[in-house]
A = this chain, B = another copy of it.
Amino acid sequence: MALDKIDRKILTLLQKDATMPVAEIGRKVGLSTTPCWRRIQKMEEDGVIQRRVAVLDPAKVNVGVTVFVSVKTNEHNDAWMRKFAGVVDEFPEVVEFYRMSGDVDYLMRVVVPDIGAYDAFYKRLIGKINLTDVSSAFAMGQIKYTTALPLDFAIVVDDDK
């Protein structure tokens, strides 16, 4: 599952634009179409590349507002966590959800059109599961957002190129 320099170049390109023809990717990384294609296939099979998706403009689909919701709880057992996860999964407004260390127990990122919609979401959420300590922080603006992960840390075997 190790990635060499060419693999990482390919991934860098695909993280930016997954519509680029394999022939062009090959050209950019110094490979002909076939071996380049095979490398991509392998990375998909290995699960390094999970999927290819369309990224939409949040404002254009009317979810320009991001809210970070912190949750503290007393229920520190696995069953409750699963239930919470299940509930959250039902809400498409929740685009990210983390179990945290430290001060808060869970953190989620929620996208909505405006404050009013957030309030409606909030009511629906607490209707589905009992949450005691919830705190919401509104983002005034998204300065950076990328789906591209840094590849500088990827495991490498042979990296002389």
Contact = CB atoms under 8 A, between A and B. Distances in A.
Interface of A is mostly: mixed
A142 interface: yes
A123 B47 CA distance: 32
A81 to B, nearest CB: 8
Nearest to A136: B102
A140 to B, nearest CB: 5
A103 to B, nearest CB: 7
Nearest to A138: B101
Contacts of A63: 149-150, 153
B148 A98 contact: no
Contacts of A143: 85, 88, 97-99, 106
A19 B44 CA distance: 13
16 contacts: A15-B56, A17-B51, A18-B52, A47-B57, A48-B56, A48-B61, A50-B55, A50-B56, A61-B154, A62-B153, A63-B150, A96-B144, A97-B144, A98-B143, A99-B140, A102-B138
